Structure 1
Amino acid sequence: MPTPLPPFDLDVLRTFVAIVDHGGFTRAAERVGRTQSTISL
């Protein structure tokens, strides 16, 4: 039996998609309502 995967944080996925969609950390941070430093972390 394969080892189950750990739970995936959908907020992290949304943030990653925002970075790609908006072309950078600063604009993505504005979109998801977080600071740029939090997004880049």
Structure 2
Amino acid sequence: MKDIVEGKRFYDIVSNKYNELKYLIKELEESKLKQFKNKQ
């Protein structure tokens, strides 16, 4: 039972990090697009 709880906590941490990463990548892409449009 303890292993299941540990696994769940690990999964939560990983999915939180993944969501943060997705958010950061989205922000980065949007700022790159803005820079690209400004150059034109």
Larger helix percent: 2
- The higher radius of gyration belongs to 2
Calculate the TM-score normalised by the size of structure 2. Answer: 0.37
Calculate the TM-score normalised by the size of structure 1. Answer: 0.36
